[in-house]
C-alpha cells in the first residue's frame, strides 16, 4: 500500500493527493484514493460528498479509518499548521509523502489535539 500511496502522489503532482487506509484490528486492508477538492499544490481538502463516499466504501468491508495520507510536493513531509488543523481523527496515523527530493520520503505522524509526534511504521511484504 505504501507503493500505491507514492504512485498516487506522483500521479497527482504537482497538486497534493489525499487518501485513506481502511484498517481492521490495526492492520491495513484497503486503500481508498480521494479527490483533493482544492486541486492545489499547497493544500488538500476532502469535500463532504467525497468523504461520505470514502466512509461508505470503508463501511462495506467493516473497516475503520486507520490512516490518512496526503502529499507535500514542494516541502518536507512534516505536518503544516493546516495539516494539524485538519487532523480530525485522533486514532489515525497521518502519512505525508514528500516528493521534493530525488526519492519519495514517507513519514507517519500521530496528531492529537494539536500535538504532533512522529510515528514509526513497518512495511510488510
Residue spans per domain, the chain: 2-119
Residues 6+ apart with CB under 8 A from 123: 2
For the domain 2-119, what is the CATH code? 3.40.140.10
Report the alpha-carbon distance of residue 3 to residue 62 in Å, rounded: 24
Predicted confidence pLDDT, tens digits, the chain (125 residues): 999 999 999 999 999 999 999 999 999 999 999 999 999 999 999 999 999 999 999 999 999 999 999 999 999 999 999 999 999 999 999 999 999 999 999 999 999 999 999 999 998 87
Cell of 59: 463501511
The answer to whether the beta carbons of residues 43 and 82 sit under 8 Å apart is: yes
72 bridge partner residues:
98
pTM: 0.95
Amino acid at each position: 500500500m505504501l507503493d500505491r500511496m507514492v504512485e498516487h502522489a506522483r500521479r497527482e503532482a504537482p497538486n497534493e493527493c489525499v487518501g485513506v487506509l481502511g484498517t481492521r484490528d490495526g492492520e491495513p486492508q484497503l486503500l481508498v484514493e480521494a479527490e483533493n477538492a482544492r486541486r492545489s499544490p499547497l493544500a488538500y481538502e476532502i469535500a463532504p460528498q467525497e468523504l461520505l463516499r470514502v466512509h461508505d466504501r470503508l463501511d462495506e468491508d467493516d473497516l475503520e479509518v486507520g490512516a490518512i495520507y496526503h502529499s507535500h510536493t514542494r516541502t518536507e513531509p512534516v505536518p503544516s499548521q493546516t495539516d494539524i488543523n485538519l487532523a480530525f481523527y485522533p486514532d489515525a496515523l497521518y502519512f505525508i509523502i514528500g516528493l521534493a527530493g530525488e526519492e519519495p520520503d514517507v513519514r507517519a505522524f500521530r496528531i492529537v489535539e494539536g500535538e504532533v509526534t512522529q510515528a514509526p511504521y513497518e512495511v510488510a511484504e
